[in-house]
């Protein structure tokens, strides 16, 4: 332990790769391990998908503008979203919480009201977990369990050249909600002025009370679609699409003019002089599904109004690119895109 | 939220009961939910057992005397112990960690070395999880998944009147290890004197590097024993046996002279003028299995040198009691026992 390497030098994904690179799978029931939205376990043909996340006050959420009920709801949703991103249906969750003595029983009740509301809305059972005190702040760990029909789970690694790149819902709104709330918090701290969220309930709701795309996975099942790859958008379209490209060893081409935006969100972005495309690419927390399908599925995909086709998968050696509205070609990077490249 | 109820007024178990009292199970695959060491999910006949725990620096462990490698090992073990306490075999774990910037990559590597050593020793796969920064300290959340043969999982609620109360291994040693380490830490802080752990490696090892009782669950399987109830001892014999009695609606009688102690641990207890029985009843962190079996299993149980029969289950209206070596009868309470009652 004489050496000291700062963890920041690896980045989050580099760290996970480093810590898990020597894993040697011992149980034949382990079908898929570390490195996707969820892991997959075989249970005599039927397949179980599991995912777990840690949410820490001051890192993942700010209680100065996050109602505890919404936080409870969102804590469940972000995990269910990972299960849906595996093309599976969530069935159970386990919830561990740690809290300092500034939290009252009434505060925990608020939080659990949100947790149970999410369980109710998504037909999921809370089956266990742990409560503990913490030295500082509120700590939440949720593990979600789901089911997939035999070999119908979808990894990040199956995208094929010429597959369509599709996304559910809208992009960038949660980031705009965060920007608004952070701005109002700053104004309140500096001037004491009450927050002005007038007319911005959509973007605020997208951040504080997101939903998971149960409907999309149900549509896949009804329409007989199995995406070739899928991920949920938690870190922004760029970063998450690059995960798919890396795992699938492909390139990609995105069309800015195909990005789905909410009109209210777009208007707010222009008001703040922020580019909505930047919000979509780098914002994160959208919890929409990003997936690829074979071109054969085009007819089925285009009939679903909640799905937008935003690009296609290209060979790895052609790189990863965004074609802007003006027709310019930019290299896609995890933080968004590289300007100036033709 | 105008009312404020301090959580301490409910206690940990009261809090869990309060937060989970309105749970309404929605999935038929949920065979057993909150309230036992693990939850049970049906997967087409084969049954999956799941358990999750949160470990927080300053609350559950003290890094001033806990090597990170041991902490990694123990974090896995305490969860595997819950799976064994359901009479199931652990197969996979998910691990979430949060850490402040005082942790280097080398420190995390140490921690993971312990995690992987435990996975190796217990034939378990690490299949997922999350890494995050924290505002303060080290936070660990482990979820363990295991398998049970159809309807062979064991709950806390099945103990019957006249069943034998049994425990694996030894009791109280981990608490003595904690007492020693806390004492040496205090001495070091006050005087700068280096810790003197001479001859105490057993009790220190019991605290810092516990094992889960894989062997006992394997013995049950070989010998064709299914305990009527089971729990792992994390909070002390008293508290954990009272969980069984409460869930099973029974009383119990324990015999002090049957408690299994390690000789080195006992000698250390006498040196500190602590009653070893008190350590067994209230110490906790033994991670031994406490279980009840029908008297018909007596012959099979007594041939296993790792199992001690320490009492029997009585009717609920006869209360919960400890018979001391001197033949006195004391009421068993969660903190140990009530003196002075004849």
Domain boundary among B148, B180, B215: B148
Residues of chain A with Cβ-Cβ distance to B214 below 8 Å are none
| Mean per-residue pLDDT, A241-265 | 96
Are B121 and B172 within one domain?
no
Are A169 and A309 within one domain?
yes
The tally of domains found in chain A comes to 2
In a domain, B68, yes or no: yes
In a domain, A311, yes or no: yes
Are A111 and A11 within one domain?
yes
In a domain, B158, yes or no: no
Q: Give the percent of chain A with pLDDT over 70.
A: 97
Put residue A288 in one of left, alpha, beta given phi > 0 → left and psi -120 to 50 → alpha. Answer: beta
Domain boundary among A90, A121, A148: A148
ipTM value of the model?
Answer: 0.90
pLDDT at A338: 65
Are A107 and A143 within one domain?
yes
Domain boundary among B102, B122, B148: B148
Are B74 and B104 within one domain?
yes
Q: Does residue A196 carry a pLDDT above 80?
A: no
Q: Give the percent of chain B with pLDDT over 70.
A: 97
Domain that includes residue A282, residue range: 164-338
pLDDT at B197: 78
- 10 Å Cβ neighbour count for B134? 24
In a domain, B115, yes or no: yes
Calpha distance A53→A51 (Å, rounded): 7
CATH of the domain at B288: 3.90.650.10
In a mutational test of the A interface, the residue from B127, B135, B146 whose CB has the highest number of chain A CBs within 10 Å is: B127
Are B92 and B212 within one domain?
no
Are A244 and A122 within one domain?
no
In a domain, A155, yes or no: no
| Mean per-residue pLDDT, B240-260 | 97
Mean pLDDT of chain A: 91
Residue A116 to residue B59, Cβ atoms within 8 A? no
Q: Does residue A286 carry a pLDDT above 70?
A: yes
pLDDT at A2: 64
Q: Give the percent of chain A with pLDDT over 90.
A: 72
Among A148-152, B125-129, B312-316, where is mean pLDDT lowest?
A148-152
| Mean per-residue pLDDT, B208-236 | 96
Residue B98 to residue A135, Cβ atoms within 8 A? no
Are A139 and A253 within one domain?
no
pLDDT category, A40, cuts 50, 70, 90? confident
pLDDT at B1: 47
Q: Least CA distance to B17: which residue of chain A?
A: A131
In a domain, B159, yes or no: no
Q: Does residue A1 carry a pLDDT above 70?
A: no
Q: Does residue B139 carry a pLDDT above 70?
A: yes
| Mean per-residue pLDDT, B48-70 | 94
pLDDT tens readout for residues A139-161:
999 999 999 888 789 999 999 99
- Give whole-number Cα distances, A133 to A6, A53, B6, B67, B79, in Å: 29, 19, 12, 22, 18
Are B282 and B189 within one domain?
yes
Shortest distance, CA A36 to any CA of chain B (angstroms): 8
Are A267 and A135 within one domain?
no
In a domain, A296, yes or no: yes
Q: Does residue A340 carry a pLDDT above 60?
A: no
pLDDT tens readout for residues B167-221:
999 999 999 999 999 999 999 899 888 877 777 899 999 999 999 999 999 999 9
Q: Does residue B341 carry a pLDDT above 50?
A: no
Residue A96 to residue B54, Cβ atoms within 8 A? yes
Calpha distance B227→B278 (Å, rounded): 26
Are A144 and A168 within one domain?
no
Are A142 and A285 within one domain?
no
In a domain, A157, yes or no: no
Q: Least CA distance to A120: which residue of chain B?
A: B26
């Amino acid at each position: 332990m004489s050496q000291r390497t700062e963890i920041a030098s690896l980045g989050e994904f580099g760290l996970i790769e480093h810590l898990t690179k020597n894993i040697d799978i011992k149980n034949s029931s382990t079908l898929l391990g570390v490195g996707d939205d969820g892991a997959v376990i075989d249970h005599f043909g039927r397949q179980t998908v599991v995912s777990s996340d840690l949410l820490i006050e001051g890192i993942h959420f700010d209680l100065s503008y996050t109602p505890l009920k919404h936080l409870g709801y969102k804590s469940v949703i972000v995990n269910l979203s990972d299960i849906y991103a595996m093309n599976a249906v969530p069935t159970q969750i386990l919830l561990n919480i740690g809290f300092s003595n500034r939290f009252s029983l009434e505060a925990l009740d608020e939080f659990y009201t949100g947790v149970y509301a999410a369980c109710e809305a998504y037909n999921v059972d809370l089956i266990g977990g742990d409560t503990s005190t913490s030295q500082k702040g509120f700590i939440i760990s949720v593990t979600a369990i789901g089911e997939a029909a035999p070999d119908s789970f979808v990894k990040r690694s199956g995208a094929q050249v010429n597959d369509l790149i599709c996304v559910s819902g809208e992009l960038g709104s949660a980031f705009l909600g965060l920007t608004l709330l952070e701005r109002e918090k700053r104004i309140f701290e500096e001037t004491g002025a009450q927050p002005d969220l007038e007319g911005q309930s959509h973007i605020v709701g997208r951040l504080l009370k997101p939903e998971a795309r149960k409907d999309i996975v149900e549509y896949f099942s009804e329409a007989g679609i199995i995406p070739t790859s899928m991920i949920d958008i938690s870190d922004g379209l760029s970063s998450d699409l690059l995960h798919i490209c890396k795992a699938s060893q492909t390139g990609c081409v995105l069309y800015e003019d195909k990005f789905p935006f909410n009109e209210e969100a777009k208007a707010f972005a222009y008001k703040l002089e922020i580019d909505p495309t930047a919000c979509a690419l780098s914002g994160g927390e959208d919890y929409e599904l990003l997936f690829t399908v074979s071109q054969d599925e085009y007819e089925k995909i285009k009939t679903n109004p909640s799905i937008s086709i935003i690009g296609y998968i290209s060979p790895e050696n052609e790189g990863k690119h965004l074609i802007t509205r003006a027709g310019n070609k930019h290299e896609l990077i995890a933080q968004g895109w590289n300007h100036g490249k033709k």
